[in-house]
């Protein structure tokens, strides 16, 4: 089942799955939208409002695996994971939200008891960076510090991604220090990084790997970076200090999400086909030895489609381990290199 199949990324995945001849059911919260897509693709469609655990679990009858594409995942992942465990269906999603990864990890014991795998983050968030993290751990087993980062030419985002960004406004950044998630001042910690196409200023961001890379590698200190100019960083710091309470207020959050719903559109096919993303990672041990990796991939949404479907195929064909799992732990460090449009620029070896 593709849940949220009528959303931007969910529809991309549904159309590609249909093209590949996969057996699937479409599902979502909007009866009109999911029915229309089901009729167009000639696929069965179900309305699952996610207001009741019992009803959601019943809607998963005869479903082996759910791929949740309905963001923000802060609003869908928790109940859907519970429904999957009740229905004995494996769970995947395409989130990049730290809180969702942490919630899935806390459900590890419950998922094991149910014989169900929970593997959030099977898209651009966090497949390429998670694989890079495991490559670095393999190359430097005693690493104590891990830095990861991504640089993308396309800046367009889907409604779900934009709404997730809205939810993050006014909040602190996040890093992992000594194994513990730690707040980090937004706009601080700038450094220069060559992601694969020349050095750029980069800023720590609260990306999902702050959660997942720790569970994949055990490395206790993790920071994730994205490009930003010094001027932009100064604006972010100033804005954070002055307007953070305003951005966190419920009326402003509601207004911004309403604006996103009316105005945001994801990248078109030309953008998805022509743009690239660059992935960078560096591991350092206590003695100062370091290993670096650089990978170039498809545009983020295009990568999400192929990665999510490849992982879904794998889970359906190979009984996975039950409990919480990260993408790289499930698929291996080199999984990213098997996906189309991906190549290694700098090997960690």
pLDDT tens per residue across span 262-313: 776 777 888 889 999 999 999 999 999 999 999 999 999 999 999 999 999 9
Cα dist from 269 to 8, 263, 296, 309, 318, whole Å: 12, 18, 19, 18, 32
Helix intervals (H) in the chain: 8-19, 31-41, 53-59, 77-87, 98-106, 108-114, 127-139, 159-168, 209-217, 230-248, 250-263, 269-274, 300-317, 327-331
- Superfamily the domain 2-122+302-330 falls into: NAD(P)-binding Rossmann-like Domain (3.40.50.720)
pLDDT tens per residue across span 98-149: 999 999 999 999 999 999 999 999 999 999 999 999 999 999 999 999 999 9
pLDDT at 154: 61
Find, among 280, 330, 338, 272, the residue nearest to 305 by Cα: 272
pLDDT tens per residue across span 23-43: 899 999 989 999 999 999 999
Question: Does 2-122+302-330 match 127-300 in CATH topology?
Answer: no
- For the chain, domain boundaries: 2-122+302-330, 127-300
The DSSP bridge partners found for residue 224 are 148
The average pLDDT across 335-348 equals 94
The average pLDDT across 76-87 equals 97
Q: Does domain 127-300 have CATH number 3.40.50.620?
A: no
pLDDT at 48: 93
pTM: 0.91
pLDDT tens per residue across span 151-176: 987 666 656 555 555 555 556 679 99
User: Distance between CA atoms of 291 and 63, rounded to whole angstroms?
Assistant: 42
pLDDT at 232: 62
């Amino acid at each position: 089942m593709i849940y949220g199949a009528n959303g931007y990324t969910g529809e991309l995945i549904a159309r590609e799955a249909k093209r590949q001849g996969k057996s699937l059911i479409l599902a979502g919260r909007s009866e009109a939208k999911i029915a229309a897509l089901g009729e167009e693709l000639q696929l069965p469609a179900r309305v699952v409002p996610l207001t009741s655990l019992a009803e959601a679990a019943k809607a998963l009858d005869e479903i082996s695996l759910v791929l949740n594409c309905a963001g923000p995942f802060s609003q869908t992942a928790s109940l859907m994971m519970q429904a999957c465990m009740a229905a004995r269906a494996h769970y995947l999603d395409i989130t990049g939200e730290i809180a969702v990864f942490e919630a899935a990890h806390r459900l590890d014991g419950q998922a094991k008891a149910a014989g169900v795998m929970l593997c959030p983050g099977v898209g651009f968030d966090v497949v390429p960076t998670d694989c890079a993290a495991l490559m670095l751990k393999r190359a430097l087993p005693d690493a104590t510090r891990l830095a990861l980062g991504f640089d993308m030419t396309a800046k367009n985002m889907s409604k779900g991604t934009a709404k997730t960004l809205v939810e993050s406004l006014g909040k602190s950044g996040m890093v992992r220090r000594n194994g513990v998630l730690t707040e980090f001042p937004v706009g601080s910690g700038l450094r220069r990084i060559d992601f694969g196409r020349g050095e750029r200023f980069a800023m720590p961001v609260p990306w999902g790997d702050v959660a997942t890379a720790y569970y994949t590698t055990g490395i206790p200190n993790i920071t994730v970076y994205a490009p930003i100019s010094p001027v932009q960083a100064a604006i972010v710091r100033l804005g954070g200090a002055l307007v953070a309470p305003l951005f966190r207020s419920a009326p402003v959050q509601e207004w911004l999400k309403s604006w996103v719903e009316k105005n945001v559109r994801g990248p078109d096919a030309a953008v998805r086909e022509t743009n690239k993303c660059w992935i960078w990672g560096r591991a350092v041990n206590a003695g100062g030895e370091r290993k670096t990796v650089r990978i170039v991939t498809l545009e983020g949404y295009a990568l999400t489609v192929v990665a999510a479907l490849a992982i879904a195929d794998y889970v359906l064909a190979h009984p996975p381990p039950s409990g919480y799992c990260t993408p790289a732990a499930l698929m291996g460090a080199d999984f990213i290199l098997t996906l189309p449009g991906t190549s290694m620029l700098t090997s960690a070896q």
